[in-house]
Structure 1
Amino acid sequence: MLGVQQTIPSKRPPVGPDPDPVLPEAQALLDKVSAYLKPEEVHQLEVAYHFAARAHHGQFRKSGEPYITHPVAVAGILSEWFLDSQALCAALMHDVMEDTGVTKLEIAEQFGKQVADLVDGLSKLERLEFQTKEDAQAENFRKMLLAMARDIRVILIKLADRLHNMRTLEAMNPEKQKRIARETMEIYAPIANRIGLNAVYQELEDLGFQYVYPHRYQVLAKAMRVARGNRREVVGKIMDAVRGKLSESGVEALVSGREKHLFSIYRKMQEKHLTFSQVLDIYGLRVIVKDVPSCYLTLGMLHGLYKPIPGKFKDYIAIPKANGYQSLHTTLFGPYGTPLEVQIRTQDMHKVAEAGVASHWMYKSGNVSINEVQQKTHQWLKSLLEIQSESGDSVEFLEHIKVDLFPDEVYVFTPKGKIMAMPQGATAVDFAYAVHTDIGNRCIAAKINYELMPLRTILRNGDRVEIITASTAKPNPSWLNFVATGKARSHIRHFFKTMRYEESVALGERMLSQSLHALKTDHVELSDALWEGMLKESGDKSRQEILSDIGLGKRLPVVVARRLLQLSGQMPVEAQKPGAITIYGTEGMAVQFANCCSPIPGDPIIGMVKKGQGLIVHTHDCPVLRKSRPDPEKMLDVQWDPAVKRMFDVAVKVLAVHERGALAQIAATIADEAANIQNVHMEDEQAQTAYSVLNFTLQVENRQHLARVMKSLRQLQVVVRINRMRTPG
């Protein structure tokens, strides 16, 4: 489905007989699916083939083959997973809407709504709609995931499509090879892993590795071919020993050697700084038994045959992975002193491990573990929809999803004993949002294994996590620096976007009211009809949008006020001096206090409306504001609310005697005056050995409070000089 593989412009499919006979590949496909599809379904597939062949007539791939060979190959891959006729028909026609003149309606009329929906879900959007390739890729990916949430077959067809394109990538130029391969490794391979398609995941990674790092791939592939012959004898002896031990104990088992794929070897070398020979010195075995009790029985026998390496045992049967994978993993000290990695699983577990969510079509859906895979995949897709509804744009959505696609998992417990899988590096905040959005938004602390811990604490396997909440709590922007899941990140960003919008609407309302009173002394009734006229003229969706723009400095309140008066039939009179806007200190993100002068209650203040930021409050004598010469229309009179109750940052510089205990005396005095030290640092004064310059950022209630603190500090013998700075230290 990569448009780059098409060389001839699209055409309307001709009506009438097929221009070419049925391709041998297509005939092989029809013969293959007749083994599991009904005759009428095979006939429908043949009709779909002819439809696609007509649509793609005259189109060729870069390799020179007729374009129809690509959709036939994609359907062939899906037939290996025993997908139904609707999915196979959609696979054959997956490019007709995008590359030819065929419409969704035509497909629906001939093949039914479900097939048409599948084809539509697979069709890319026009690239011309986007300014950058990143935007196009992100929007295409978002659309695919939304279609996938409605029907899981969309992603199975998409993965088969990408797999065939990767298998035939050699026809592309090196630049396109690298771009497509990188996208495959970043997005499509992790999705295949996330839904349990292990074989597809490994092949996509190896093919991507081959084109992204061609030299490294060739070196490793050559070394692997040489080593394979040397290992065969050793692996054979180990397998014979294991089979003998299990046979003695009466356990029926299928024992096979397991070879790592090339990219996993490369990744292990990179992550653990190992040489190729060190990675290859680890032998792998897979033991498949009849039932779950036999898995644990086999584990005990193998631990009796070879000593287990402590800390290298994982029970994915009791606690399955997020993609439904189940197995016992253990690492043993094998013969010749080499580590031996063993996977023990049942036949059903092996089916799920190899085919994941596709196992629903490959095997009877009465299987409990297969149903669980579907359920987990459905939950994951639901979480994607939740993230997408809160993400501002496609690129942001893609950023969130990339984080979640396939990290290594950590398993933690809720206070009630429920197991939750979290990605490696997840914190208590990630856990809180995984439980519920409201828990995340209101969390203030966490108890991990019954001990109070900071919210940024990274979770480890087996932790028992309890989140402590408060009804007045809200997210902190600093959480974005340490959260590890896309869900937590998108919820935090959504909260602040919503809060900022609400605050800017409230501020915009106050600023508009102030401007209206300055233009007209009479009371102005802003009726719904008046606002509707304003919205019709401006093209905005709601009055809240206009008020938010005023609050964020994107529109001048006086301009909106004049237009509203004109629409009401009243002519604006000469502008009077508007009344001052009261600053309560609780406005949140819509009102900001300038860092250049750090105003506190009691300081004479002035407001400046800055585009995209809202109202910035400065002191009257702020040198930075004076130097910037702002537009007078963007300046507003503001005043402190007499009852303002909160702490404000203020910078204070102290010249103190350089002696033991000086800092302790200063800190104790500040604390005695009920002020808080937010930050302190010492200037490097090498020439002045007798004195130290200390820069404090203090939190005080108002100017009078600051005066009390400074007066008490001046009384200390260790303080030589103290003054307020205009910038926090």
Structure 2
Amino acid sequence: MDADGASAQPYRPPVSSVLTLDFERLKSKLGGYLKPEDLGRVEAAYHFSADAHLGQFRVSGEPYISHPVAVADIIADWHLDAQALTAALLHDVMEDTHISKAEIAERFGKVSAELVDGLSKLDKIEFRSHQEAQAENFRKMLLAMASDLRVILIKLADRLHNMRTLDHMRPDKRRRIANETLEIYAPIANRLGLNNLFRELQELSFQNKYPLRYAVLAKAIRSARGNRREVVSKIRDAIEARLPQWGIQAEVQGREKHLYGIYRKMVEKNLSFSQVLDIYGFRVIVRDVPSCYLALGALHSMYKPVPGKFKDLLAIPKANGYQSLHTTLIGPFGMPVEVQIRTREMHHIAESGVASHWLYKEDEKTLTDLEQKTHSWLQSLLELQSASGGATEFLEHVKVDLFSGEVFVFSPHGKIFSLPKGSTPVDFAYAVHTDIGNRCVACRINGDLMPLRSELKNGDQVEIITAAHANPNPAWLSYVRTGKARAQIRHFMKSDQQDESVALGERMLNQALRPHGLTLGQISTFAWDRFLRDRGVRTKKEVFADIGLGKRLPVIVARRLSQAQDMESGRPDVVKPKPVGAIMIRGSEGITVQLARCCHPIPGDPIIGCIRKGQGLEVHAHDCPAVTKGRGARGRWVDVEWEAIANERLFDVAIRVLTNNARGVLAKVASAISESDCNIQSVSMEGEQGAYTALNFTVQVRDRMHLAKAMRGVRRIPEVVRIGRVKGDGRAS
């Protein structure tokens, strides 16, 4: 076995195998940087793949082996190693043939086999929908990428070749694949700094998703190109003449904006093509960083800069390692021209991103910084995976992070954080650390106390205020932007709900066991083991959680446990039934015990509980119309009572006050409610017949006695005709 774990005997291709012209070209390219023994391994992988795919053809009619060779050719441009090239040539054999991972590992090494496995789809698993299958495949690929970046580089090359050869597909399939590429693969290429690949994927996706729009825009660009060629040449000549006068050695490149970029600008800013003026741009590549700023001064001395259109991405690079100075100038005839200024090393990274690790080794510091940023992003994917509830949720969180622009903010100690546009202090808190996010209670932005839902802007300094016993607020989900924040909030809520549902389920089961003359403490290990085995459940905790969430009925579980207990004793003793006790609640248990919004029960009201599947226990007032309608659902209604303790929580309750139309009556009623030590949550007015007005209040009280005191205070107001509590059907009593 060699160092990679491959068999010492190389693969012997059959006499019938021949090298295609495409592979001969690939071999010539690989000979420029691979060792002879590595080149031999790649050739063996080619023959193995050609034999495995023998008789298989692409939709275009070409032999299937042409596709793996094309993928290997793309990654050869990045100088990827023999293990990656082997995996590229074999990336479809596990899906399309009977070749196993073990066989690949034996012939070509464990590393190449792991890469192929990370690239293989989960075709043998049945999914409920194409979206679910896509999400699960994507999750698997990204997690494989987190352990070896070469997985995603090969996958992106695979997608690029598929997009280049999409012409032979049905139009509906072309649109679906193009949309998937725009949503997932192009943003990943951008995040990894693979700029050329990113732009080509966008262009091909645009061409296949909107072919008519693409054709019309391409024609317009060709027409404009002729009209503006003279102006562009004049600007380029002027820049090339001015820079040496300032002592700057530079290479000036003219470039035309990509069609998809122009199309997006037209859509986002509601412009016609004739209104998009900055179709052309220039790239100035200089020797070092000081020359970048010197070149900027030279350009600004030639043409006036457009205010607000300057970005210094040298001092604060993008998350994908991209560095450049961007400025927009007013050129001849008022034509805006975008100019990018960067060093040669920055240009390498801007075009090749993380692939620079293999291509360019001279600037180790820059590449190391980029690798560290990429590694941090990959680690964040693993955190998202552990916090997400499933593949679809994971895909949703990753898409949020991939699609967003960037805003740069600072911690109080001056550390820079890159966040998506529209991020809030809660997103910042989770970016610092999960515990900071979970304990966040307030924030200061630039020294001022601000709401947690405030939108952060470039350059903001953010300080997070935490409290030891604070927890995430579900309302944060309505305004957080980062996938990490969203995933961690949901994860905490699920964990919190799990603990609460276990405690509630335990109490409900204990209550259901009373008619059998048993308590939970009396149920033997034998009875529990039998119940868990018969129901396919692993732990008692799962049973309690299912009961608390309404997924199991406590009376059924109690009956089964009682029967198992009787079987152990060998005699079904007749036990005199004991009365079923009510479940005691405080109203402050949390998300597994909900007070119904239709009737707003408060301590002191006669109440009844309804077990709703997956949601826990919902508490209603006895006279709530919902109770009358739902009485037919057997086993779902349980007796509940208020626990006799001093409850510090305030409960919402709706009241309606009918008053005479008089000046200042609203102020008098509100004052009377406040004097009773009640909070007013909301108030609204509605006209009544004749000379009366109805005032609807939502107030917060401790219990029924507290509400009665507040209502007595309101009744003393001379203008008040009637006051009553609003029922579930909207009527006041």
TM band (smaller chain) = over 0.9
1:249 counterpart = 2:233: no
2:643 maps to 641
CA distance in 1, matches of 2:234, 2:723: 81
Contact kept, 8 Å, 1:108 with 1:116, in 2: the verdict is yes
Contact kept, 8 Å, 1:18 with 1:54, in 2: the verdict is no
* Residue identity matched to 1:182: N
* Residue identity matched to 1:722: I
**CA shift for structure 1 position 388:** 0.9
- Counterpart of 2:307 in 1: which secondary structure? coil
2:27 maps to 30
CA distance in 2, matches of 1:271, 1:341: 19
- Counterpart of 2:641 in 1: which secondary structure? strand
1:9 maps to none
CA distance in 1, matches of 2:22, 2:278: 42
Contact kept, 8 Å, 1:295 with 1:344, in 2: the verdict is yes
2:450 maps to 453
Contact kept, 8 Å, 2:407 with 2:418, in 1: the verdict is yes
Contact kept, 8 Å, 2:631 with 2:637, in 1: the verdict is no
CA distance in 1, matches of 2:16, 2:368: 45
2:386 maps to 389
Residue-by-residue CA offset, 1:42-70 (whole Å, 9 max, x unaligned): 11110000000000000000000000000
1:44 maps to 41
How much is the aligned-residue C-alpha RMSD, in angstroms? 1.7
CA distance in 1, matches of 2:56, 2:409: 54
TM alignment of 1:141-290, pairs within 5 A: 141-290=138-287
1:667 counterpart = 2:670: yes
2:530 maps to 533
Task: Decide whether aligned partners of structure 1 residues 45 and 657 sit closer, same or farther in structure 2, where only a CA change above 3 A counts.
Answer: same
TM alignment of 1:120-139, pairs within 5 A: 120-126=117-123, 128-139=125-136
Sequence identity, in percent? 61
Residue-by-residue CA offset, 1:270-291 (whole Å, 9 max, x unaligned): 1111221222445311111111
- Counterpart of 1:258 in 2: which secondary structure? strand
CA distance in 2, matches of 1:81, 1:468: 46
* Residue identity matched to 1:637: D
**CA shift for structure 1 position 566:** 2.4
Moved more, 72-81 or 692-701: 692-701
* Residue identity matched to 1:22: L
Aligned residues: 714
1:470 counterpart = 2:467: yes
CA distance in 2, matches of 1:168, 1:684: 68
CA distance in 2, matches of 1:79, 1:179: 29
Moved more, 130-139 or 616-625: 616-625
Contact kept, 8 Å, 2:669 with 2:714, in 1: the verdict is yes
2:685 maps to 682
* Residue identity matched to 2:454: T
Task: Decide whether aligned partners of structure 1 residues 423 and 649 sit closer, same or farther in structure 2, where only a CA change above 3 A counts.
Answer: same
Task: Decide whether aligned partners of structure 1 residues 728 and 195 sit closer, same or farther in structure 2, where only a CA change above 3 A counts.
Answer: farther
Contact kept, 8 Å, 1:676 with 1:700, in 2: the verdict is yes
CA distance in 1, matches of 2:124, 2:258: 35
Moved more, 551-560 or 288-297: 551-560
* Residue identity matched to 1:426: S
**CA shift for structure 1 position 26:** 0.6
Match of 1:518 among 515, 518, 524: 515
1:612 maps to 614
- Counterpart of 1:299 in 2: which secondary structure? helix
* Residue identity matched to 2:680: I
2:716 maps to 715
CA distance in 2, matches of 1:553, 1:39: 66
**CA shift for structure 1 position 434:** 1.0
Contact kept, 8 Å, 1:593 with 1:599, in 2: the verdict is yes
CA distance in 2, matches of 1:684, 1:194: 58
Moved more, 656-665 or 43-52: 656-665
Contact kept, 8 Å, 1:359 with 1:370, in 2: the verdict is yes
Residue-by-residue CA offset, 1:177-201 (whole Å, 9 max, x unaligned): 1111110011000000010000111
1:317 maps to 314
1:7 maps to none
CA distance in 2, matches of 1:329, 1:660: 63
**CA shift for structure 1 position 696:** 1.1
CA distance in 2, matches of 1:706, 1:51: 81
1:498 counterpart = 2:501: no
2:700 maps to 699
1:102 counterpart = 2:99: yes
**CA shift for structure 1 position 587:** 1.0
- Counterpart of 1:312 in 2: which secondary structure? strand
**CA shift for structure 1 position 674:** 1.4
Contact kept, 8 Å, 2:513 with 2:519, in 1: the verdict is no
* Residue identity matched to 1:710: M
* Residue identity matched to 2:549: L
CA distance in 2, matches of 1:522, 1:627: 33
CA distance in 2, matches of 1:410, 1:349: 21
Contact kept, 8 Å, 2:657 with 2:724, in 1: the verdict is yes
Task: Decide whether aligned partners of structure 1 residues 715 and 120 sit closer, same or farther in structure 2, where only a CA change above 3 A counts.
Answer: same
CA distance in 2, matches of 1:437, 1:531: 38
**CA shift for structure 1 position 544:** 0.9
1:116 maps to 113
TM alignment of 1:277-676, pairs within 5 A: 277-364=274-361, 366-520=363-517, 524-568=521-565, 569=568, 571=572, 573=575, 575-643=577-645, 644-676=647-679
**CA shift for structure 1 position 263:** 0.3
CA distance in 1, matches of 2:15, 2:365: 46
- Counterpart of 1:649 in 2: which secondary structure? strand
CA distance in 2, matches of 1:523, 1:592: 25
Task: Decide whether aligned partners of structure 1 residues 294 and 521 sit closer, same or farther in structure 2, where only a CA change above 3 A counts.
Answer: closer
Moved more, 234-243 or 469-478: 469-478
- Counterpart of 2:403 in 1: which secondary structure? coil
Contact kept, 8 Å, 1:598 with 1:728, in 2: the verdict is no
* Residue identity matched to 1:103: S
- Counterpart of 1:310 in 2: which secondary structure? strand
- Counterpart of 1:417 in 2: which secondary structure? coil
Contact kept, 8 Å, 2:515 with 2:579, in 1: the verdict is yes
Moved more, 140-149 or 670-679: 670-679
1:5 maps to none
**CA shift for structure 1 position 366:** 4.8
**CA shift for structure 1 position 168:** 0.2
- Counterpart of 1:345 in 2: which secondary structure? strand
**CA shift for structure 1 position 634:** 2.7
Contact kept, 8 Å, 1:697 with 1:728, in 2: the verdict is no
Contact kept, 8 Å, 2:409 with 2:456, in 1: the verdict is yes
* Residue identity matched to 2:453: R
- Counterpart of 2:349 in 1: which secondary structure? helix
Task: Decide whether aligned partners of structure 1 residues 296 and 281 sit closer, same or farther in structure 2, where only a CA change above 3 A counts.
Answer: closer
Could you tell me which runs of 5 or more consecutive residues in structure 2 were left unpaired when the two chains were aligned.
1-10
1:84 maps to 81
- Counterpart of 1:30 in 2: which secondary structure? helix
- Counterpart of 1:576 in 2: which secondary structure? coil
CA distance in 2, matches of 1:409, 1:126: 36
CA distance in 2, matches of 1:523, 1:384: 42
Contact kept, 8 Å, 1:607 with 1:635, in 2: the verdict is yes
Contact kept, 8 Å, 1:647 with 1:701, in 2: the verdict is yes
**CA shift for structure 1 position 331:** 1.4
- Counterpart of 2:131 in 1: which secondary structure? helix
- In the superposition, the TM-score normalised over structure 2's length comes to 0.95
CA distance in 1, matches of 2:577, 2:140: 51
Task: Decide whether aligned partners of structure 1 residues 624 and 406 sit closer, same or farther in structure 2, where only a CA change above 3 A counts.
Answer: closer
**CA shift for structure 1 position 560:** 1.3
CA distance in 1, matches of 2:582, 2:328: 73
CA distance in 1, matches of 2:278, 2:443: 43
1:66 counterpart = 2:63: yes
**CA shift for structure 1 position 527:** 4.6
* Residue identity matched to 1:84: D
CA distance in 1, matches of 2:519, 2:475: 47
**CA shift for structure 1 position 367:** 2.2
- In the superposition, the TM-score normalised over structure 1's length comes to 0.95
- Counterpart of 1:62 in 2: which secondary structure? coil
Task: Decide whether aligned partners of structure 1 residues 104 and 521 sit closer, same or farther in structure 2, where only a CA change above 3 A counts.
Answer: closer
Could you tell me which runs of 5 or more consecutive residues in structure 1 were left unpaired when the two chains were aligned.
1-13
